Copies of this chain bind each other. A is one copy, B any other.
Amino acid sequence: MENIITSKDNPVIKLYQKLSSSKKERLQYGLFVLEGLRITEDALKEDSGITHLILTKRAEEKFGQQLFQADLRDTKTIVISNELGNRIASTDTTQGVFAICRIPHMPDVLHLISDGGRFVVLSGLQDPGNVGMIIRTADALGLDGVIMSGSCELFSPKVIRSTMGSVFRMRIAVENDEDVLFAALAENSVTASAAVIDKDALPVTECKFEGSQAVFIGNEGNGLSPETAARCSRKIIIPMHGNINSLNAAMAAGILMWELKK
């Protein structure tokens, strides 16, 4: 008979909760967590190193058949009570599908940009929802890579959830040292444009994007730092209207990526 785990002291459940709440634990174990059917399916499809699949009894009945079609040889599956599922869930209406996943090997920035292409650099972005939405949009629009610099942690549950699975498909590099980042861009002849709110900046409608390009997006509240903007080859602006002087950072990034790629 199947063993249904009900105790929060189960070692896998304890690990899940640690990874869910602590960046330090994620880094130490090299693991992160997923919650939700669709993102777990995406991870299974992309062969993304799921070590543990955790299903509530209800989720096993409802989704087991479709999930068990994936290759689960390297995955340990455990079934937990619905109550325990509610306890570890981050949402009020959980589907009861959870996973622990190995943090994948990520390319360094030099490797990411070495073949050229169109890139977005997230410089100092702190809102996990914005970061996730930008990665999702970069995937949808076909960017060649996302570079994170001084931004929030990629493997936090909130970022992962907002990427809607694109974190498993998009090429992403983290480079917090701007000297290294700008040297890599220069070495690969990637033109760096700073997205700013500045009347003297070049309207993106007049921008020519030729060759390899990287657009720097700044922090939600404060924009791109003047120091970072000054290191870019040019400043660009999305022409805006009326009383509002700033789009949401993810929306601004989306429009700029659209212009980069179309």
Contacts and interface: CB of A to CB of B under 8 A. Distances in A.
Interface of A: 133, 136-137, 139-142, 164-166, 169, 205, 238-244, 246-248, 250-251, 254-255, 258, 261-262
A244 B133 contact: no
B244 A139 contact: yes
Nearest to A241: B142
Contact of A262 (B142, B205, B250): B205
A242 B137 contact: no
Contacts of A238: 258
A254 B258 CA distance: 10
Given A140-B244, A140-B247, A241-B261, 11 more contacts: A137-B247, A139-B243, A140-B242, A141-B240, A141-B241, A165-B244, A169-B242, A205-B262, A247-B254, A254-B254, A255-B258
A261 B246 CA distance: 16
B136 A244 contact: yes
Nearest to A139: B244
A246 B140 contact: yes
